[in-house]
Structure 1
Amino acid sequence: MKAALSRPQARTKRIAALATVGVLAASALAACSTSSDSSGSSGSGTSGKPAAASSGSGQQIQVVAAENFWGSIASQLGGSHVKVTSIIDNPDADPHDYEPTAADARTVAGARMTIVNGIGYDTWADKLLSANPAAGRIQLKVGDLVGIAPGGNPHRWYSPQNVHQVIGQITADYKKLDPADAADFDTLRSTFETKTLGTYNQLITGIKTKYAGTPIGASESIVSPLADGLGLKMLTPYSFLSAISEGTDPTAHDKSEIDRQIKDKQIKVYVYNSQNATPDVQQQVKEARAEGIPVATVTETLTPAGASFQQWQVRELRGLQAALAKATGK
């Protein structure tokens, strides 16, 4: 997922872009607030009341998710009662360094509910929301919900526990916005958690039961919440994982430590983010394969484009499960 600019460079460039979008966002909000809503879909409005999505009214809750992994979940939990737009919906876009557009500002201006990851992961989304205040809007910030402050690991969609926490909160928020359809939202949640996520849940339980304690290595901190959720033992220094995630140079000591772990086969499986394969990561993948250590991949956002959260996660979990089976003979 590396662009032409490094993540630190892109952050600097984004400051000017956000300032421009802030002005555009204010204009978009004014336009949305004064336009008529003849279509019956929810908008910002001037009443300050949350839009209802009752089955009788035909209205939908307009939801904006900063990233498509949360957007996919939100859409499935809302069914026909919601319309979800994900700002980051392209596998080639980097959520860390995304530069919002005027179209994004207009989309946020009409939202009755927003879902932002937080934890310093998508600060551009916070700026869009600040530029587009709306009375009655529900703002769900995942980091606040799960109790992870800025500076912590932001990749909470790879934590099975956190995923289920977000599912519960989204449903609760939908019921606040549209109490008339509360029963529908409860049914949608039950179906999603027990049936739609059935294979996802089974894979998590199966891997944890069979491979808990297995030592693994990884390219960046995106893998850490998943390893924790599966009971796997992460040997890669967290300072290295964080450096790759943040786009900074890892220390020579960390690189030497990982090289030793691979050479001595202390790790059984190596997992890397294929959307952020830096030269250091590529070298580690090459070394792991040369030593006969199975390699598994993850990505930062939904892949391929158009995949659902569960399709994406199940494919990755099966790949990791196969790598663990090959490595351990279990």
Structure 2
Amino acid sequence: MLVAAVGVAPVACSTAPAATGSPGTITVVAAENFWGSIAAQLGGDHVKLTSIISNPDTDPHDYEATAGDARTVASARLVIVNGIGYDAWATKLVSANPAPDRTVLTVGDVVGVQEGGNPHRWYSPSDVHRVVEQITADYKKLDPADASAFDQRKQSFENTGLAQYDQLISTIKTKYAGTPIGASESIVTPLAEGLGLKMLTPESFLDAISEGSDPTAADKTTIDNQIKSKRIKIYVYNSQNATPDVQAQVNEAKTAGIPVATVTETMDPATATFQDWQVRQLRGIESALAKATGTS
């Protein structure tokens, strides 16, 4: 049974259902805390933000919205949903609680990925920056009197907040572009693309694990052979979804001397900022690549 988790974003946010806020404050609801963290930092004290999913043990794919979530969404002036079939429960909440003055930011629409595409856009560095632009634009539309403040916060977030994140991405891409890797599921694919790494794991396997279905025997054999022959240089897996098939591959990779790096689907710990979470994971991937290639 999934447990509702209304979370704490790192700046100007609430652990309680969103209220109307003080005059001039934009009430914001993010379906997931990775987008909520970014939105909170871009809004500062001009926004009151609630993230519905913040518990690392909660699967956003299968989340069951509560009456409290509906009340939270009903009072929001800006709702941020991922879309692309990832959080259909959030889209339903918005539709069931209409408000003429509400703005809905659907990440899939912002980055041009429709349902059926890879929904894990917070792992795409370029898409993260596109969403930063759109959140700021929506804030300025909802609170034009503070437009200059939002521009300043965006500039600070991109130049300072995301500086280490962007630098690590650039460094990894420069050093290791083209390196063949394996992964446990499709959350790694947008990041691999952003880093210039070559994903060898069959897409059908990545999708099966992400969607909670059984991978084919043929795909598992392909991956086993990639590991045994060391065609992949590192293996990256989602530690929040270590199925028996995934755990078997992790063990095989370690036995073969292939470095293993971990990522998580949602922010862990929940109190981290988006960039701190991503930087920690990027460092793990960079370290694994350095071990695999004998470079640093």
Q: TM-score w.r.t. structure 1 length?
A: 0.83
CA contact (8 A) 1:40 1:59 kept: no
Give the alignment of 1:43-62 within 5 angstroms.
58-62=23-27
Q: Deviations over 1:92-147 (max 9, x none)?
A: 11100001111101100000000000000000001100110001111000001111
Aligned residue number for residue 202 of structure 2: 237
Q: 2:233 matched to 1:268? A: yes
Partner of 1:125: 90
Aligned residue for 1:116? 81
The match for 2:190 is 225
Q: Is the 8 A contact 2:181 2:233 kept in 1?
A: yes
Query: Aligned equivalents of 1:275 and 1:130: distance in 2?
Result: 30
Q: 8 Å contact 1:73–1:309 — kept in the other structure?
A: yes
One-letter amino acid matched to 2:21: S
Distance 2:68 2:98 in 1: 16
Q: Following the alignment from structure 2 to structure 1, what is the Cα–Cα distance between the partners of residues 146 and 60?
A: 33
1:282 equivalent in structure 2: 247
Match of 1:41 among 21, 36, 40: 21
Aligned position for 1:142: 107
- Tell me which residue corresponds to 2:39: 74
Aligned to 1:255: 220
The answer on 1:312 being equivalent to 2:277 is yes
Whole-Å Cα distance in 2 between the matches of residues 239 and 190 of structure 1?
A: 39
Equivalent of 1:210, from 161, 172, 175?
A: 175
Q: What is residue 152 of structure 2 aligned with on the other side? A: 187
Q: What number of residue pairs does the alignment pair up?
A: 282
- Distance in 2 (CA, whole Å) between partners of 1:127 and 1:265 is 45
The Cα RMSD (Å) is 1.7
Q: 1:40 deviation in Å? A: 7.0
AA in 1 matched with 2:209: I
The equivalent residue for 1:93 is 58
SS in 1 for 2:187: helix
Q: Deviations over 1:239-289 (max 9, x none)?
A: 000000000000000000000000000000000000000000000000000
Unpaired runs of at least 5, structure 2: 3-16
Checking the alignment, whether the CA contact within 8 Å between 2:79 and 2:105 is kept in structure 1 is: yes
The structure 1 segments of at least 4 consecutive aligned residues displaced by more than 6 Å after TM superposition are none
Q: Secondary structure at the match of 2:49?
A: strand
Taking only the aligned residue pairs, the percentage that are identical comes to 72
Q: Which residue of 1 aligns with 2:164?
A: 199
Gaps of 5+ in 1: 5-9, 11-31, 33-38, 43-57
Q: CA deviation at 1:304?
A: 1.0
Once the two structures are superposed, the pairs formed by residues 285-304 of structure 1 within 5 Å of their partners are: 285-304=250-269
**Equivalent residue for 2:123?**
158
Deviation at 1:180, TM superposition (A): 0.4
User: Contact 2:20 / 2:27 at 8 angstroms: preserved in 1?
Assistant: no
Structure-2-length-normalised TM-score:
0.93
Question: Which protein has the larger Cα radius of gyration, Structure 1 or Structure 2?
Answer: 1
Deviation of 1:305 (Å)? 2.1
C-alpha separation between the residues in 2 aligned to 1:68 and 1:297? 19
